[in-house]
Each structure stands twice: as structure tokens, then as C-alpha cells.
Amino acid sequence: MSKYWSLVFSLVLIVSCKEKKAETDDLVELVTIEKPVVIEEFGFNLNDFEVLRDTVRKGDIFGEILLRNKVDYPKIAAITENYKDTFDVRKFNVGKPYLILKSKDTINTAQVFIYQNDPINYTVVDLRDSVVAYKKKQKVKYVEREASGIIETSLSEAILAQGIDYNITNNLSEIYAWNIDFFRLQKGDKFKVIYKEKYINDTIYAGAGKIESAYFEHNGEPFYAFNFVTDSVHGISEYYDQEAKNLRRAFLRSPVEFSRISSRYNLNRRIAYYGYKVRPHKGTDYAAPIGTPIRATASGTVEESTRKGGNGKYVKIKHNGTYSTQYLHMKAQNVKKGQFVKQGDVIGWIGMTGNTSGPHVCYRFWKNGQQVDPLREKLPTADPIADSLKTQYLDYIAPFKDKLDCIEFMMLPDEDLLTLNN
């Protein structure tokens, strides 16, 4: 009997194994296929191209770079002739990064050229089919940040010691330029600031944005500042205090930052070169290195942007029915006739065109059609906020003022103070 049952058990086991094998054979084998990771940059899927990254080096010429990457002359000519306003190949600046997206076939021709003007702005030259060039911006994430400090040595050191963008120092000094002399700050002066930092792809720092609101305490006197858009058409914003008073004057003190006056307005000027004859100088000369940006001292419309005789390359701006300004001896202009410019916009760069013995800008100032000395003029204050906007402004700044008042002043650790003082 034992042999019988042993035989039966073996037959059952064999049948069971065959059934399980049959069930296994009926199963469909599942294979997971991973999709390639899409690497997107500047609006292009980089997986579709062979990518060449480089920076502009001294002596590089745009056309030669394209020729090396198998772009023919007609396309290069189309870019240089038809897209000067979009991509001026003469302003192909050393140190600027660029990408070339090349075809993956055996010809390996450049399909797209991407020039990075700055961390946010870039220019695309699409070489596929007919040539097209256009400007674009990276997607930027804004992160609000608060900072504060008590000044021990200088504003810049108080800011840099906290790892804050140095441009915040410049921005604060510009906002309060007409209320506080930043060369005479006192130990114990305090500041608070709310601004936004810019990030590309969430992680790449792209600089500090505009200061949204600030508080500065100088010699015990408080100064609030709130940024508010007053002209949405031209994108003009102003800084006002808690009572809606404008913090700036209608004109900047100087058309050039960090410069010195090399020659003042002088109607009785005598020059040895001309035999000491009286040759009036109706401008104020600001000396600075070639290429230094020249700023519009007030908002207005460009009347002239040209080159003429001893003036060299220059720009003239009409601000209103009373005031006009002119900027001479530029290396190059950055604006065109009829263009509206805002106060502080870069309108050109320091040069030596026309009659000049050194790099500078001759700044001329007209009042009612007559050239006057801007350093002796009692310049007008900026326009106050419109009555129609005042209630809106006060409602807008209320939460910012509450935030500022709640920020505690950051004290530097003793070891940091020791480092700064040494």
C-alpha cells in the first residue's frame, strides 16, 4: 500500500508542477523602459542636439565662429544685416557665455546660436530654414528677503557681513541720496530693507531685484521709503515716504556714478592752447574711464542722438517745457531720437569723440533755452504723488510698513566686528 500511495503522490506532484509551469508560461513578461530625461534649456530640448558651450574670447568674431560650425555665408550675412537691433554682432562682448546647438547627423551643422547677455536675458539666433533672431528671458523665481543692521564702520560692510548682495548698498544710497549723506554716516545708524532675490531654475542666483521698502535711521531721525508704480505705461516707479512725499529730486546729481568733476561751468575760462583767450565752458565735465555708463539725469524724450563737430557723439534729452540736458563726447550712444528714457537709464558710454583731451562726459544743462550751471541751480523736487493715487498708495504701503516695524536690527557677532575693524 505504501508503494501505491507513494506513486499516487508523485503523479499529483508532477501534474501540479506542470499546471504551475503552464500558468507561468501564460504570464506576459513586463519590462520597464525608462524614458530619457528631458534636458530643457533656453526653450530647447538639448537631447535633440549636440551641445557646444563656450565663452567669447578676445579676438573672437561672430561670423568666424559660425563658419567653423558649418554655417554658410548667406545666413551669416542675413544675421548681421537684418537683425542689428536684435543682435548687434559688434557688441559681441568678451567673457559672455554662448551655446551652439548642432545637428546630430554626420554634417554636424550649427542649428541654433544662443548668446547670454546676462544671467536672465539671452538672444536666440535660429539658423534652421530661414534665419530668425529674437530676445528672450529666463524664467525667474522671486524670493522675498528681509535684512537689517546697525552700522559700526560703513553701510557696505554692515551689508556684506550678512552675505547680502552688494547692489543693495548702491540701491539704498540712491534711494536716500537727497536725504542722507552716505559719506557721513554715524556709528549706530540703522537700516532695515525688504527686497526680492532672483533665481533661475530655483537654485541659480541671478541678483537682487528692486528694494520694495526700506527704513533708515540717521542721527536718530527715521526715513521710510516705499517703492510705488506711478506710471504703468512707461514702467516708472518712485520711492515715497510714509506721508507720500517723494524722496528724490527731479534730476540726479551727476550723469556718471563714481566720477570726479574735471572742469566746471565757467563763462570766463581761459586756455593756454588758445592763447589764453576767453573761451566759455558751458558744461560740467565728469572724468571717468572709457566705457563707463552715462545715465539720463531725468526722465524725458531724446531730441538728438548724433555726432557733430567738437561735440563728438552726443545725446540731448528734453525733460519738459523748462529743462533739457545734453551729454557730449560719448564712445557710443545707447538711445535713438524720439525714444523715451527714464531717470537713471544708460544712454551711452564715456568716450573721447570730438574735441577732448581725455575720457569724460561734458554735461550741459538748459533752463528755458539758456545753458546754466546745474551745480548752482536750485533744482526742482520730483513731482508729488497724484492726489488720485494717494489713498491707493497709503493702503499699498501699510503691510510693508508693518513688516519693517517688526524686523529686529541684526547685530554682528563680536568676532565679525573684530575682523571688520582689523
pLDDT of 242 reads: 93
Quick one: DSSP state of residue 66?
A: H
CA distance linking residue 288 with residue 292, whole number of Å:
6
pLDDT of 8 reads: 45
DSSP secondary structure, 21-61, as one string: HHHHHHSPPP---PPPPP-EETTEEGGGSEEEEEE--TT--
Instruction: For residue 235, count CB atoms less than 10 angstroms from its CB and return exposed for 0-12, middle for 13-18, buried for 19 or more.
Output: exposed
Question: Any idea of the CA torsion for 212, 216, 222, 226, to the nearest 10 degrees?
Answer: -10
Domains (range + CATH), the chain: 41-137 (3.10.450.350), 140-249+408-421 (3.10.450.350), 260-372 (2.70.70.10)
Q: Give residue-wise pLDDT tens across range 4-40.
A: 545 444 444 444 444 544 454 555 555 656 666 767 8
pLDDT of 420 reads: 43
Q: Give residue-wise pLDDT tens across range 174-210.
A: 888 777 877 678 889 999 999 999 998 778 888 888 8
Better pLDDT: 377 or 210? 210
CA distance linking residue 265 with residue 286, whole number of Å:
11
pLDDT of 419 reads: 46
In total, the chain counts a number of residues equal to: 422
265 and 233 Cβ atoms separated by less than 8 Å: no
Q: What stretches of 173-254 adopt beta strand conformation (E)?
A: 190-200, 204-218, 221-231, 236-240
Hey, what amino acid is at 329? H
pTM for the full predicted model: 0.58
Q: Give residue-wise pLDDT tens across range 116-175.
A: 998 889 999 999 988 999 999 988 889 999 999 998 888 888 888 777 888 888 888 888
184 and 176 Cβ atoms separated by less than 8 Å: no
pLDDT of 35 reads: 63
